[in-house]
Amino acid sequence: MNLVLMHFHGQRGPFAFDAIPRAVSKDVEAVLVRLFDVSEGEGFFEHHSKIGGESFSCANYLFFMDSQWARGNKEMAMLTLTVDDNLKPSIFESTLAKFATALKSIKDGYKGFYGDSDKKDPGIEKAYKLVKLLVTDCYEACRRKPEAQKPGKMLILGLQAVGKSSIINVVTGKKFSPGIKPTLGMQIIRSAVDAFKFNIYDLGGQEKIRERWYDQNVDPNAIIFVIDATASKEQFEDSRREFDRMVENFFSKDGQHKVAENTPVLILGNKIDLNPSFTEKSIDALLKPGKVAGLNYRIGLCSAVNSDGIEENFKWLVKSFLFV
């Protein structure tokens, strides 16, 4: 799924002004340029064709923005959402219409399209930022539509007894249970944060099970690595080795199960209620995730006992893997 904001430039003609989460290919842009050229009235329409022998479908909403700089005092623009074959483009009509209206209502919003011009107007930068923000919000809204969602896959790793299952219980709305049994093998838990669905793959942390972590072929959209704030020096060293092994497996050039480059990694220090002196800096000094080139990570602290820190960190994780 990709969201594209097309714009008709007075000199360049129609082109892809912005795209979320990544730039569109030249072939896709060429199709959208043709759609832009043949479209007439403002409103929603679908398109189905083939690009390079592959099926291509998109939902489109053409609209006009009042402008003092364009011919006819109108900027012509179009929001396009490329969709998978199993989705009906029509389910996105109301969302695209809503954000087209929001873009039209930005005061002097047309100026945002002129960031690369030689015009010296202080309103250009402000309008540009507002347009980009609304495009991002529109993409998130489309991805969160229940009809459009494919459950994301989160992989949670960590040594035995660091609190992985307890954290999952908090995320799924269950109460903390001090007598929770160790995970043997792998269990899959369905959950949701901010209406976005995902499956959590919980792998046991015992040494013999850790040896088989990467035989599971989960292909995760996000990874959670948990550390026990009360661990011994030996356990911290084990965590460091397992973190390095995870990076080697998923993020190295020759990794056995290499994932998408921007796949988010949430590093959680659990049980901080028992060791308040344990901080993000403690985790950073131990694991040194910043040394991994390009790693999209966040270090967070939490307590599964009282639920502190879990919601905010999982919200970051969900929002991050929407843009992978």
pLDDT of residue 85: 81
pLDDT tens digits for range 163-217: 999 999 999 887 766 666 666 667 888 888 877 788 999 998 898 889 889 887 8
How would residue 290 be classed by pLDDT, with cut points 50, 70 and 90?
Answer: very high
pLDDT of residue 300: 97
Global confidence as pTM: 0.73
pLDDT tens digits for range 66-96: 999 998 999 999 999 999 887 899 999 999 9
pLDDT of residue 229: 97
pLDDT of residue 184: 64
pLDDT of residue 246: 96
Domain ranges across the chain: 2-147, 150-321
The CATH T-level fold of domain 2-147 is Beta-Lactamase (3.30.450)
63-102 burial string, b = 16+ CB within 10 Å, else e? bbbebeebeeeebbbbbbbbbeeebebebbbebbbebbee
| Spatial CA neighbour of 130 closest among 65, 74, 199 | 65
145: pLDDT strictly greater than 80: yes
Q: What does the block give as tokens for 291?
A: 């040394």
**CATH code of the domain occupying 150-321:** 3.40.50.300
| Spatial CA neighbour of 24 closest among 86, 78, 62, 91 | 78
Query: Residue 302: which residues within 8 A CB-CB, separation 6 or more?
Result: 167, 268, 269, 270, 272, 308, 309, 310, 313
| Spatial CA neighbour of 317 closest among 187, 168, 182, 217 | 168
Give the number of other CB atoms < 10 A from CB of residue 146.
10
My answer on whether omega of the bond before 21 falls inside 30° of 0, hence cis, is yes
**How big is the CA angle at 162 (ends 159 and 164), to the nearest 5 degrees?**
95
> 126-135, 208-217, 300-309 — which is least confidently predicted?
208-217
pLDDT tens digits for range 229-271: 999 999 999 999 999 999 999 999 888 889 988 899 999 999 9
114: pLDDT strictly greater than 90: yes
Query: Residue 160: which residues within 8 A CB-CB, separation 6 or more?
Result: 182, 204, 205, 206, 207
pLDDT of residue 175: 72
